[in-house]
Structure 1
Amino acid sequence: MSIDKKLLKRLKALYVEDDDNIRNELSSLLGNFFDTVYTAANGEEGLALFKEHQNDIDVVLSDINMPKLTGIDMVKEIRKTDAKVPVMFATAYSDNEYLADAIKLRVYDYIIKPIDIRRLLTVMNDLANVLYQEFMIEQQHKELEKYKDVIDKNNIVLKTDTNFKITYVNQHFCDITGYDQEELLGQGFDTLIHKDVNSTVYKDLTKAILNNESWNGKIKNQTKFGDTYVVDSYTIATLSDAGEVTGTISIQKDITSDVNQKRDIQKALIKDKSEIFLKGKESSGELNAIINELNKRIHDLQKLMKASDLEKDRLVYNGEKLITENKKLQRELAYALKNAAVEEDTSSTLKLNKSNQDLKMEIKKLNEEQEALKDEMQRAVLQTKVNLETKIKELEKQNKEYLFQIESAEDVETLTEKLEYWKSKAKEGAKRVEQLERALLNTGDKNIMSRLFK
């Protein structure tokens, strides 16, 4: 078997030997392998050293036949204060008397002198391995104790037998439920479960445990005073060395506050949802009224645009009519002037001059009327254009405001489509005005039109 030097280095030994040469030589050798080696020349010194360093010594290696106090007597005294420390004897004697005493003192092993160093190190290596395993088990036990303390302080712990009769409850359980431990010992586990809980929950739990399976779930329980509390329970079976189910252990976390908080949040959400629905319904009614009002305004605007179109048509017709009459008078005037130049008769000339004078007066009057009509037509067209543009801008602004309100209400998509439809209608009306203006420009006198729309 190989020697684990790291394990041996964990050991601190007491070596008792009355032979100085053997003690010095072996202690020096053991010092290369052990952490510490305490040495004594007889049983009396060895006992004193052990008492002084009792908590620091892992193993005792001693001769048997020594002055002042034998190895056997020394170990008898050691066992009065420490029943577990391993002891090994190194002796030249192997008779039954010493072996019997060694067995009574629970000696770990013995080495026959002269000592075989390899044999000694092998035995010490086995001992170091055993001590290390015991150390690890002790450490794990301490950690488990810490975990148990943490669990006991923060969780409910219950234990039952195979009949699910309670055999243990921790203090945390008593603080929550109001029960004393004595009141529950021997009571059925199901006596804690609230009457509202479906019986299949308890059946599923017992079935899983008897099949050596864990069970996890939420259970609604009741306290000693009838109050309700909810736990998140994790239950497993306890087993014997033979692997048979001996009972259960249940770790439960009180989640009553979490459940109540969740229920309160759900209630608040339902309330908020109802209020939002009612407000949305009211907003929908208001928006419908706004849309109806908007539709009415759009209808009125369409009527106004239609009347404007008719007025424009009338103005265009009168303008064209005046232009035609003006051209006709100009032709008549030119003809009359031509005839007047070749007439020899003075009276005819005078008549013609008078006629021409009257004609000029009439032309001047017509020109004045034409200018007045132009001014009137220009003012009417400009005023109509300004009114329409103002109406369109106001309508677009209102559309944006209503669209913003509609987007925050239910059925936003439908309302938005309606607004976009009427908005497009308004734009078509504006385009219609522009088309009429272009038509007026194309059909009327260019000089007059350029003066009207410059």
Structure 2
Amino acid sequence: MDLQASQIDLKNSIINKSSVLYVEDEEILREEISNLLQGFFKKVFTASNGEEALEIYEKNSDEIDILLTDVNMPKMNGIELVTKVREKDSNLPIIICTAFNDAEVLLKAIKLGVSDYIIKPIQMITTLKVCNKILTTRNNELLIKKHVKELEDLKSVLEDENFIIETDLEQKITYVNALTCKASGYTAEELIGQKNNILKHPDTSKDFVENLWNTINAGNKWQGKIRNLAKDGSTFYTKTTILPIFDENGKIIKFLSTGILITAEEEEKQNLKRIILQHKGEKLKVENTIQQRVEDEVKKILASTGNEKDAQNKKLIQLVNDLDAEIKRLRNKNIDNNSRVITSEKKLQETMVRFDNMQIAYQEKISGMNSTIQILAKKFEDLIKKSKLTAEKLDKSQKSITILQGYIDDYRKKIADLEDVISSYEKELKESKSYKY
């Protein structure tokens, strides 16, 4: 029942997606094992000696995922084959099939970086489990490399378009990217090691700073607009997200700040406010001027008589007409100004929405990157542990082989001594028989 369960488990493992090159000079054994391997591997290449195996490998190196080879073969033995393969690929998983007394062979194989060894006669389930373990480890290593490459590419994109600052738990800057240095006017050497308030604008309130640090120290994300002070005393604004970074135990180890420059948008907002205030001032000034002119004309009419009144009435009519024209002009100007304000507000709103969306996208990428880094770190730690265990296993195996080799040598010596005793006995027996006759 356990054998069947192991077979089902192996058929659903990474072996089913992998190809193997199996090398064995004994024809009957090669056909038997290769037929069994074909029930598990996606593809099985077979060779009867080292030279044939090397030729197959060179033609199909992109397709072969693991090499399983005998040691003692004609034309080119297993160690020579492994040496040739290692010249072309230092990472291909290789398993050698050997015997207990091949201590010297195993030492050479270990130096060549073989992944494991199988003691003959081959036990299929054990061999497949060893292959599965090696291929799984290899696949994890490739995935880690792939994720690291993706993370490096993502980091490059983020650093090109975002301010990035890392600080430790004491609020000291431990890393800044080139964009931060360019905007602030400081070099990386001038910023690293300094408290992060080196960039804090003097108009930033104490409550604002306390709220920010209380939020991230509690393990939460902070988002908002920050007014910064450059080295030359100028001001620049960033739309910023600050994340606490945790270790595998959930403990905060540092803080990551990313931001987008919004100085231009902030200036546009200030310009919009000035336009609105200017428009209100002009409107008030015109209204006051019109009111004063009407009051002056009414006073003149009240103070005049006769023909002067007629003349003043004409002036008043003209004034009303002028006022009507002025009102129309102001109405049109007001419409234009309102349209300009609405357009500016709309433009500003669209810009802020765009930056918000960009910030959210970058934030999601950073969060994903942080999670992936933690997962990869855990996998890498597991791989190191497995590598240590494998090294310990090889070391113990080598010691066992050395001990067994000693036993074998002792047995051989005893057999040789026994052969001498037998020969001596046979000689004495012959002499004894000859003497009797």
Could you list the per-position Cα deviations for residues 329-363 of structure 1 after superposition, in whole angstroms to 9, with x for gaps in the alignment? Answer: xxxxxxxxxxxxxxxxxxxxxxxxxxxxxxxxxxx
Q: Which residue of 1 aligns with 2:187?
A: 180
Give the match for residue 19 of structure 1.
Answer: 26
In structure 2, the residue matched to 1:328 is none
Aligned length: 300
1:143 aligned residue (136, 139, 150): 150
Residue 93 (structure 2) aligned to one of 86, 96, 113: 86
How many angstroms apart in 2 are the aligned matches of 1:204 and 1:132? 46
Aligned equivalents of 1:177, 1:33: Cα separation in 2: 61
Is 1:257–2:264 an aligned residue pair?
Answer: yes
Amino acid at match of 1:238: I
Q: Runs of 5+ in structure 2 lacking a partner?
A: 1-5, 297-323, 333-437
Deviation at 1:230, TM superposition (A): 0.8
Amino acid at match of 1:86: P
- In our comparison, the structure showing a higher alpha carbon Rg is 1
Where does residue 235 of structure 2 map in the other structure?
Answer: 228
State the Cα distance separating 1:64 from its structure 2 match.
2.4
- Per the alignment, in what secondary structure is the counterpart of residue 225 of structure 1? coil
| 2:67 alignment partner in structure 1 | 60
Mean alpha-carbon deviation: is it higher for 145-154 or for 74-83?
74-83
Listed as ranges, the gaps of 5+ residues in structure 1 are 290-400, 410-454
Instruction: Provide the secondary structure at the position in 1 that maps to 2:245.
Output: strand
| Paired residue type of 2:197 | D
- 1:335 counterpart residue number: none
CA RMSD of aligned residues (A): 4.1
TM-score by length of 1: 0.54
- Could you say what secondary structure the match of 2:255 adopts? strand
**Secondary structure of 2:17's match?**
coil
- 1:28 Cα deviation after fit: 5.2
Distance (whole Å) between structure 2 residues aligned to residue 57 and residue 201 of structure 1 = 60
Q: Give 1:264 shift.
A: 1.1
Is the partner of 2:10 in helix, strand or coil? coil
With structure 2 as the length reference, what TM-score do the two structures score?
A: 0.56
Q: Distance in 2 between matches of 1:197 and 1:133?
A: 48
Q: % of aligned pairs identical?
A: 33
| 108-117 or 61-70, which deviates more | 108-117
- Higher relative contact order, chain-length normalized (CA < 8 Å, sep 6+): 2
Asked if 1:215 is matched to 2:227, the reply is no
How far apart are residue 17 of structure 1 and its match? 1.9
For the 8 Å contact 1:214–1:234, the answer to whether it is kept is yes
Q: CA deviation at 1:3?
A: 2.9
The aligned residue for residue 197 of structure 1 is 204
Correspondence 1:122-161 to 2 at 5 A: 122-161=129-168
Q: Distance in 1 between matches of 2:61 and 2:164?
A: 39
C-alpha separation in 1, matches of 2:44 and 2:291: 94
Q: Within 5 A, what are the aligned runs for 1:266-345?
A: 266-277=273-284
How far 1:86 moved relative to its partner? 2.0
SS in structure 2 of the partner of residue 13 of structure 1: strand
Distance apart, 1:228 and its partner CA? 0.9
Task: Tell me which residue corresponds to 1:167.
Answer: 174
Distance in 2 of aligned mates of 1:82 and 1:161 = 42
Q: Which AA in structure 2 matches 1:237?
A: P
- Equivalent position amino acid for 1:94 in 2: F
Evaluate the alpha carbon distance shift between residue 67 and residue 224 of structure 1 in structure 2; reply closer, same or farther with a 3 A threshold.
farther
Other structure's SS at 1:221 match: strand
Matches within 5 A, 1:369-408: none
| Equivalent residues of 1:4, 1:125 under 8 A apart | no
Letter in 2 for 1:23: R
Q: Which AA in structure 1 matches 2:169?
A: T
Question: What is the Cα deviation at residue 239 of structure 1?
Answer: 3.5
Deviations 1:32-74 (A, max 9, x none): 6444444333335445654665554321211122234433454
